[in-house]
Structure 1
Amino acid sequence: MNAPPRPLLPPGLYLLCDDTVRVDMPLVLKAERMLAGGARVVQLRMKRTPVREALSVAREVVRLCRRAGAVCLLNDRVDLALLADADGVHVGDEDLPAEAARALLGPGRLVGVTVRDAEGARAAREAGADYVGVGPVFGTTTKQVPAPVLGLEGLARVVTDSPLPVVGIGGVGLENVGRVAASGAHGAAVVSDVLLAQDLAERVRLLTAAFERGRVGG
């Protein structure tokens, strides 16, 4: 019997539900509020959460995303993605190789890979990835990244040459998400700008609208 086709990555905002930002707020509550604002992609990134708790959180966030019609990805943890029945994973420079992630996940789930240029995007496609995260587009304090800032022109060049959909990552917020969209990027990854907002759901709505305006040239 053929495996069901894996989901497509929705365009627009790509939100990170992160346990290192706004540590006072539980991850499930963060996800709930993102989804209340219309989030269509949620990546669950748990670098500090103990593994048993992480599995419980992953299962609940996957359930919430599925109910909302959103895609849920796990950062790095292929094991948790499988156990929680998530839609896929995103792997970075120091995580499991994309080939290994694809081998473990099979053909029915998404694999995203962090790359720095179009050459990396081509390698990611050969490894079985569905999309790439490219950055840092701007300077960021959320995560230490050993790579130069691309800027919008650099991002646009990668978008043009990449064989896979590109999600711009690094320092993206309300003041620049429209320009990320205007570069041709499929999506824009946002972390602190949402998680540090007083009203997460409203911030998601504002960011979504700004991305759409940038995408259509408004």
Structure 2
Amino acid sequence: MRNWDFYMVTDSALSKGGVLNDVGQAISAGCTAVQYREKSLPFEKMAMEAKAIAALCKGRADFIVNDHLDVMLASGADGIHIGDGDVAIEEIKKAAPNAIIGVSVRSAKEAKDAQDKGASYVGLGPVFPTSTKPDAGLPVGLSEIGSVKKAVTIPVIAIGGINHSNVARVIHAGADGAAMISAIVASDGVFSAVSEAKRIINESRRV
């Protein structure tokens, strides 16, 4: 795993230029972690798009597939991100022993459980109210970041409602990295949006 200070999550519904274009611009701006989150495409199309993203990421960014173990395996992605009710960590490790495994959590207890089961990192959220995942539940708040950091030794990536105006607060709260969705893919320019996010994150770490 690289330094994941900025973690991109794709969203084809919000994208203005297409997922592949978004990923290419994000990587060019210094993004080192890309999660492919696609819910509506059939397997064949999802696998084809994921393979194209894997090629863009090769040697430049870690590529994570959301939920779909079959797509991860077919595309040669570096890892998978799972939530409650998705494929079990044990099953992932059997199919891909070296895969990066991310788990969505809402609390320090859930984060510790995920780490104990073999997670490589956790995605904590939603930190703030979010419109990209209506079923995400109530925001966990900034204070939970510190609680989770105390409970685990694996990286903690904050997600949910994070944008350029609040990402500094997320970093100050202790997150190892921040995931941004609509603030990036729905912007007029993904390259500039990622560049600005990374600038803010880097400045926040120096304070």
- TM-score (ref. length: structure 2): 0.94
Q: Which deviations, in whole Å up to 9, do the C-alpha atoms of 1:121-146 show, x marking residues without a partner?
A: 11111211100001110000000234
Residues of 1 paired with 2:156 and 2:135: CA distance? 18
| Equivalent of 1:133 in 114, 123, 133 | 123
- Which of these residues, 49, 52, 55, is aligned with residue 41 of structure 2? 49
List alignment gaps of at least 5 residues for structure 2. Answer: none
Matches within 5 A, 1:108-187: 108-187=98-177
Mapped to 2, the partners of 1:110 and 1:125 lie a distance apart of 12
Matches within 5 A, 1:11-26: 11-22=4-15, 24-26=16-18
Displaced runs of 4 or more, over 4 A = none
Q: After TM superposition, give the deviation of residue 214 of structure 1 in Å.
A: 1.5
Root mean square deviation of aligned Cα: 1.4
Q: Deviations over 1:42-77 (max 9, x none)?
A: 00111112221111111110010015x111100011
Equivalent residue, structure 2, for 1:190: 180
Alpha-carbon shift at residue 79 of structure 1 (Å): 1.1
Task: Please name the residue that 1:97 is paired with.
Answer: 88
AA at the equivalent of 1:18:
D
**Deviation (angstroms), 1:28:** 1.2
Report the 3-state secondary structure (helix = DSSP H, G, I; strand = E; otherwise coil) of the residue aligned with 1:18.
coil
In the alignment, does 2:172 pair up with 1:215? Answer: no
Aligned residue in 2 for 1:66? 58
Please give the alpha-carbon distance, in whole angstroms, between the structure 1 residues aligned to 2:136 and 2:163: 21
Check the 8 A contact 1:180/1:214 in 2, yes or no: no
CA displacement at 1:31 relative to structure 2: 1.0
Q: Match of 1:5? A: none
Find the aligned partners of 1:185 and 1:116 in 2 and give their Cα distance. Answer: 14
- Alpha-carbon distance, 1:80 to partner: 1.1
Q: 1:57-109 deviations in whole A, cap 9, x for unaligned? A: 11110010015x11110001111111111110000123212222222221x12
Check whether the contact 1:78–1:89 (CA below 8 A) recurs between aligned residues: yes
**1:20, 1:195 → 2: CA distance?**
9
Contact 1:115 1:134 in 2 (8 A): yes
Shift of 1:9: 4.3
User: 2:75 matched to 1:78?
Assistant: no
Please give the alpha-carbon distance, in whole angstroms, between the structure 2 residues aligned to 1:50 and 1:60: 16
Shift of 1:110: 0.2
Three-state SS of the structure 2 residue aligned to 1:49 is coil
